[in-house]
Structure 1
Amino acid sequence: MKELSIEINIRIKEINALITQSTTRIRKYSNYEDIHVQSNLSRGRNQFYYIDKKTHKKEFIKGKDMKRFSKYIQRDYDFAVNKKLLQIQKKLMRIEKDIQGIDLGQVKEIYEMQTPSKKPYITPIIPSDEDFIARWYEEHKGEQNTFPIEGNIYTERGEHVRSKSEKILADLFYKYDIPYVYEPKIKMNNGHMACPDFALLNKETRQTIYWEHLGLINQDEYAVRNLEKLHEYEESSLILGENLLISMESTKKGLNTKLVEMQIKKKISKTL
């Protein structure tokens, strides 16, 4: 529900910005005459008429006079847009108010409030975070890549990794209390097996996100090979920026940890 609330707040901000812009537009029409322009199609040609609301006078607008009356067409459009934006704003505000009382955490609390003696006899409809994370680790085994690892680089959690950058990444995940495994094995849609650098769990959404670090992007052969890998991921429903994230470096430019932390906070642990 928190994701939905965030989405509603984004929409409200968008609508509020448009209302501000729209309100600025319609202010300039305060001194306009109460004239409205109508149009119809006659023998395949558009014809325009203006109606004076005070006198109820209706007259044909000649082509040469359209520039003069076009401002009334714009004005009517702007007022219609403003009215619709205010209606949407009102609906969104009502939805925002309604969803404040909707939280699946309340369902989780029913289990948490049970006495310790009763819990062993209950299978909760929504697993606790601890149970879900434990099951996630069982389903996502790490260190599945059989290719030998050279060097002596170890993470804070003790994993033997292939590069200093992978250690930095792993230690950042550990720092932010993100469940992760190093080099899990996943099956691609074409039957190939792949070992992404990391599998991560967004505890809030319970979504699994994979992370690839591209360490030699300035080397042509390496770059081509990884572009093919990313294409294979995409064909297997691992979409870059959604459930697949990447970090990059080259022999001249190292890993940007600030960008990594931005991705962590935006995509994996939004509560930070």
Structure 2
Amino acid sequence: MTGLREMLLQEQDRLEKILQKTTERLKDAPQGRLRLSTNKKWTQYYHCVPGGKQSGEYIAKTNEKLISGLAQKDYDKKILKLTERRLSQIRKITGDYDEKEIEKIFLKEHMTRQKLIEPVEPTWEQQLKDWISETYKGKEFQEGTPLILTERGERVRSKSEKILADFFCRKRIPYKYEHPLYLKHFGTVYPDFTFLSKRTRQEIYWEHDGRMDDPIYAQNAVRKIQAYEENDIYPGERLILTFETERTALDMQLIEKLVCRYLTE
């Protein structure tokens, strides 16, 4: 499963923080444990300590600090036991888990053998080749639109899009310009750039909104971002957003960081 190892590592990090928090709390926990005796009308609290009465010593309800401290201790001990068990399981899985191991079996075969074999799953190279070769019809240019061409001779709508396209080209990052994408309850949109992620094997969309100081333009941009989110395509996951105004130009340092974060392995 693509992305499983990363998900497990994120869960491991979460559990390690929980483990650290509960371990620290248990250092200051009171000795012993809490026993409750309840009926329909009342609840009584008892403090059970090693070597003491098996039923425990009665705790007055006014001693809230001791009661809550013992209850918290019992809870934290259960959390500690669970997190230690789950962390052990995750570490065993991630220790030798490789999301590319099936693909590697094919790639390690001799070239002659590879020609005789049909892989159970397409390799990344084949998947990318098929993705690139797909034909599509982009958004049409209105008459009178300035002619702006990228280094590879592709027509784009703005100088900023040309800068972005040329940057991707120099970085050898395959992309599709204004590839149509249907969003439910919104209609067809044409993301400025569409990429295929090698890490997740999913498409990633890049929207550059270059006139955010224009109220109508900004309103439409926000509505389109909401439409992405309503279709489970979220900024920081499969949607990259960059913005410009008359006073705020394209930041290439930020562009490079975004490319490194989302478009490289």
Normalised by the length of structure 1, the TM-score is: 0.80
- Let me know the Cα RMSD of the aligned residues: 3.0
Report the Cα offset of residue 221 of structure 1.
Answer: 0.8
In structure 1, stretches of 5+ residues that fail to align are: none
Which segment drifts farther, 207-216 or 38-47?
38-47
Residue of structure 2 equivalent to 1:144: 138
Does the CA contact (< 8 Å) of 1:26 and 1:78 recur in 2? yes
Report the Cα offset of residue 212 of structure 1.
Answer: 1.0
Match of 2:235 among 240, 243, 253: 240
Does the CA contact (< 8 Å) of 1:140 and 1:184 recur in 2? no
The amino acid that maps onto 1:63 is: K
Does the CA contact (< 8 Å) of 2:186 and 2:227 recur in 1? no
CA gap of 1:100–1:118, structure 2 versus 1, over 3 A, is same
Which segment drifts farther, 192-201 or 233-242?
233-242
In 2, Cα distance between equivalents of 1:136 and 1:18: 42
Match of 1:41 among 28, 31, 38: 38
Q: Secondary structure at the match of 1:232?
A: helix
In 1, Cα distance between equivalents of 2:185 and 2:67: 60
User: What does residue range 12-23 of structure 1 map to in structure 2 within 5 Å?
Assistant: 12-23=12-23
Identity %: 27
CA gap of 1:82–1:255, structure 2 versus 1, over 3 A, is farther
Which segment drifts farther, 84-93 or 7-16?
84-93
User: What does residue range 127-138 of structure 1 map to in structure 2 within 5 Å?
Assistant: 127-138=122-133
Does the CA contact (< 8 Å) of 2:204 and 2:239 recur in 1? yes
Which segment drifts farther, 237-246 or 203-212?
237-246
Does the CA contact (< 8 Å) of 1:12 and 1:89 recur in 2? no
CA gap of 1:220–1:191, structure 2 versus 1, over 3 A, is closer
Residue of structure 1 equivalent to 2:59: 61
The amino acid that maps onto 2:196 is: L
Residues 79-103 of structure 1 deviation map (CA, whole Å, 9 limit, x = unaligned)? 6424533542343234333344333
In 2, Cα distance between equivalents of 1:61 and 1:144: 75
In 2, Cα distance between equivalents of 1:40 and 1:115: 72
CA gap of 1:59–1:118, structure 2 versus 1, over 3 A, is closer
In 2, Cα distance between equivalents of 1:217 and 1:230: 13
Report the Cα offset of residue 105 of structure 1.
Answer: 2.9
Does the CA contact (< 8 Å) of 1:36 and 1:73 recur in 2? no
Report the Cα offset of residue 74 of structure 1.
Answer: 1.5
Report the Cα offset of residue 18 of structure 1.
Answer: 2.9
Aligned residues: 263
Work out which structure has the larger RCO, using CA pairs closer than 8 Å and 6 or more positions apart in sequence: 2
Report the Cα offset of residue 35 of structure 1.
Answer: 4.4
In 1, Cα distance between equivalents of 2:230 and 2:21: 42
Residue of structure 1 equivalent to 2:191: 196
Residue of structure 2 equivalent to 1:183: 178
User: What does residue range 90-169 of structure 1 map to in structure 2 within 5 Å?
Assistant: 90-139=85-134, 141=136, 144-148=138-142, 150-169=145-164
Residues 194-222 of structure 1 deviation map (CA, whole Å, 9 limit, x = unaligned)? 21111111012211111111111121111
Q: Secondary structure at the match of 2:38?
A: strand
Does the CA contact (< 8 Å) of 2:35 and 2:46 recur in 1? yes
Q: Secondary structure at the match of 2:196?
A: strand
Residues 213-267 of structure 1 deviation map (CA, whole Å, 9 limit, x = unaligned)? 1111121111112223233334444333332221111112122333333333333
Does the CA contact (< 8 Å) of 1:153 and 1:161 recur in 2? yes
Which segment drifts farther, 90-99 or 243-252?
90-99
In structure 2, stretches of 5+ residues that fail to align are: none
Q: Secondary structure at the match of 2:35?
A: strand
Does the CA contact (< 8 Å) of 2:33 and 2:74 recur in 1? no
In 2, Cα distance between equivalents of 1:49 and 1:202: 59
Residue of structure 1 equivalent to 2:209: 214
Residue of structure 1 equivalent to 2:9: 9
